Amino acid sequence: MNTALELSLPDPLSLSMMAVEEGVPYLQEVRRARRGDSDAFAQLVRSIQRPVYGICLRLLRSDAEASEVAQEAFLRAYQNLNRYDESRPFDLWVMAIARNLCLDLLRRRSRMSTEDVSEHANVLPSGEASLEQTAIDKQEKKSLEEAMGTLSADDREVLALYYVQRRTTKEIAEVMNVAPGTIMARLFRAREKLRKVMQAKP
């Protein structure tokens, strides 16, 4: 049954866009930053700002809050750089910090977001627009983003980490702090909810 579960997905391109040094990504930059090299830390921020900001935006659905929380996550990472465990990928560590900050903020929110989801579909552009727009109709993508916006934060997060950021189930488990043996089930549940939302759309 595992082949059925994996569906037609290729192996996730884990850390494909990351610079890998000494087997662990960003280790040299982290060590330089620890010694007080701010350029090295700026380089780290530049390298992983997109996935960190991306996950914040998926969770919070507000670009201003996502930017603020992502900045705070980087600041906390900097302040705790000496506590960073070098055996873990640096980007996953920062993402876990960002995720916790987002969840704290979501918990503090006294009301559900009343923002127009369709507005957010416009602030979630594709990576390589020219290539993507030929492959998929813009309207379909907007519709999918709208449908994702109706899901819970957990569902949005697991879908974004797996399909958008192409993380492995092990990496997702590390970021979400859950057992790796639950990720495929979480993905399935999220996809199933998304499928039903899409089916219900006119």
Partner 1 sequence: MNDKDPKTDAELDALLAALPNDERDELLEEHRQLEKDLLRLADPLPPADFVHQVMQKVAAAPAPAMSPRDVAMAVVITVATFGAGVVMFLSHGAGFEGVGLTFADTFVRARELFIGVGSALETVWRTAAVPVALGLAAMLGSSVLALKKLGKVAA
Binding site for partner 1 (CB under 8 A): 1-2, 4-5, 7-9, 34, 38, 41-42, 45-46, 49-51, 53-55, 57, 63, 67, 70-71, 74-75, 78-83, 123-128, 132, 135-136, 140-141, 144-145, 159-160, 163-165, 179, 181-185, 188-189, 191-192, 194-195, 198
3-state helix, strand, coil in the chain (%, to 5): 70, 0, 30
Between 103 and 184, name the residue whose CB sits nearer to partner 1. 184
Q: Residue 164 CB, nearest distance to partner 1 (Å)? A: 5
Residue 40, H or E segment: helix 38-60
Q: Residue 169 CB, nearest distance to partner 1 (Å)? A: 9
Between 8 and 114, name the residue whose CB sits nearer to partner 1. 8
- Our CA dihedral for 144, 68, 90, 45, rounded to 10 degrees, sits at 100
One-letter amino acid for residue 21 of the chain: E
| CA R_g for the chain | 18
Q: Residue 136 CB, nearest distance to partner 1 (Å)? A: 5
Q: Residue 22 CB, nearest distance to partner 1 (Å)? A: 19
* SS3 label, residue 125: coil
Rounded Cα–Cα distance for residues 35 and 52 (Å): 24
Between 24 and 197, name the residue whose CB sits nearer to partner 1. 197
Between 20 and 125, name the residue whose CB sits nearer to partner 1. 125
Q: CA-based angle 143:176:85, to the nearest 5? A: 135
Between 35 and 111, name the residue whose CB sits nearer to partner 1. 35
Q: Residue 178 CB, nearest distance to partner 1 (Å)? A: 10
Extract the runs of DSSP E, i.e. beta strands, from the chain.
Answer: 20-21, 24-25
